[in-house]
Amino acid sequence: MGVYSLLLFTSTSVFILLVCSVDLRHVHTWVFTVQMLWQTFWHLLIQYREYYLHEPVSIRLFVAVSSLMLLTQRITSLSMDLQEKRVVLTFKASSKRKACVMLLPLISYILNFTTLLGGPLCSYRHFVSLMAGISLHAPPNPLGVVLLKLMQIIMLECVKFYVVYLLKHSYYDSYSSIYGVLWVWGLALVFRIQYYSHWRISECLNNAAGFGFWEKEPEDSPDGCKLSDGDYCTIEASSRMSEFARRWNATTASWLRRLIYIRCKRFPLFMTFSFSLWWHGCHLGHFVGMWTWAATVKADYHIHRYLHPKLSSTQSKIYSCLGWINTQMIVACIVIAIELRDMSGLRLLSITYIGLFPLLNIMLLFILLKLNKV
């Protein structure tokens, strides 16, 4: 990251100062506000240089801001633990040396490089228990798990290469309804595979360092799979938008649920996705993608509640198949809007019929809401 690593060191230093100086009952509010303002400043600076000055942005800055987003997850998760007294810190040390030693676990957790480069989010208590007991209960040999995941990464990259090859060597015709829909779906699949590969690489890094094996918890299997952002087969098999939302980037979804959804008394779903677009950087595509995601998840709740009790077993299977197709098409629209970020993604969706899928779901939502009122 070069000089941009100061972004992370600044956040860590400010967090430690707040923990030491602010009442722990209010520390989360302070930490959340300061950290999100700091992150937003850098997101807006990138947009200013990209869209207004039309200057190339250093890849080092992109990497630093990406890590800063993961740092925000970790810092706010820890501040919630402190506020809810899940983690207890005592600063009544008899010397400065002892006080510094008490802060070392916090700094070690926040700047843990294996999860800072690509996630996933791990709780402070899990991290400390692993570090404290690693000399007594060494983690199992990670070679087998790491090799298996590396093979999965190679497979994913081969699939991505083949799909990209097909997209490049296929004549794109937006006026051909089926072909245009399949082409956009294939492009969205490439973007999703990039995420799956990235998550698997991050898991390999963590497992190779002996991290992610929760042997102390009987309900968890010590196979190195618990520190994970999701299994790509399970995610892609989702037949409902609400299922996909819970499974996609699982540790981030759990963090958003705890940070916003549970704490928000009014419009929790809308507020959760609105915060998510703020956290991601507030590009135009983020607004369209995240709010479309929120609306279609809400529509999924109402449609499923209305239709599912009325279906027979055979009809339920047909409903699940159609639901899977519907989910794939909506997810494709969301991914294209979010990943392309600007008007190019929205323009691509507007000239193909795939954009009708989220619109039809939102229309069904309004119809069912009207019927409920009646």
- 């843990």: which residue's tokens? 112
Q: Which is more confident, 312 or 8?
A: 8
* Residue 116: both structure tokens together: 């800072």
- Tell me: the pLDDT tens digits for 37-67? 999 999 999 999 998 998 999 999 999 999 9
Q: How many residues does the chain have?
A: 374
Pick the more confident residue, 359 or 351.
Answer: 359
> Looking at the annotation, which residues are catalytic?
249, 280
Work out the mean pLDDT of the chain and round it to a whole number.
88
Amino acid at 294: A
Q: Do the beta carbons of residue 252 and residue 119 sit within 8 Å? A: yes
- Residue 151 is encoded by which pair of tokens? 């093979």
Q: Which residue bears the tokens 């795939």?
A: 354
pLDDT-derived band at 370 (thresholds 50, 70, 90) equals: confident
What would you report as the CA-atom Rg of the chain, rounded to the nearest whole angstrom? 23
Plot region of 112 (φ>0 → left; ψ -120 to 50 → alpha; else → beta): beta
CB 184, CB 349: distance < 8 Å:
yes
Quote the pLDDT of residue 227.
79
Q: How many CA atoms lie within 13 A of 86 on its CB side?
A: 12
Say what the pTM is: 0.90
How does residue 219 score in pLDDT terms, banded at 50, 70 and 90? very low
pLDDT digits (tens, 9 = 90+) for 251-309: 999 999 999 999 998 899 999 999 999 999 999 999 999 999 999 999 999 999 888 88
Nearest Cα neighbor of 24 from 74, 104, 77, 81 is: 81
* CA separation for the pair 76, 15 (Å, rounded): 10
Decide: 180 and 173 in contact? Cβ < 8 Å: yes
Question: How far apart are alpha carbons 225 and 294 in whole angstroms?
Answer: 29
Cβ of 311: how many Cβ atoms within 10 Å? 13
Give the DSSP letter string of 294-305.
Answer: HHHHHHHHHHHH
What DSSP string runs through 337-348? HHHH-SHHHHHH
Query: Given pLDDT bands bounded at 50, 70 and 90, which one contains residue 222?
Result: very low
Q: What share of the chain is helix, strand, coil (3-state, %, to 5)?
A: 75, 0, 25
> Cα 143–146–152 angle (5° rounding)?
140
> Mapping DSSP to helix (H, G, I), strand (E, B) and coil, where does residue 86 land?
coil
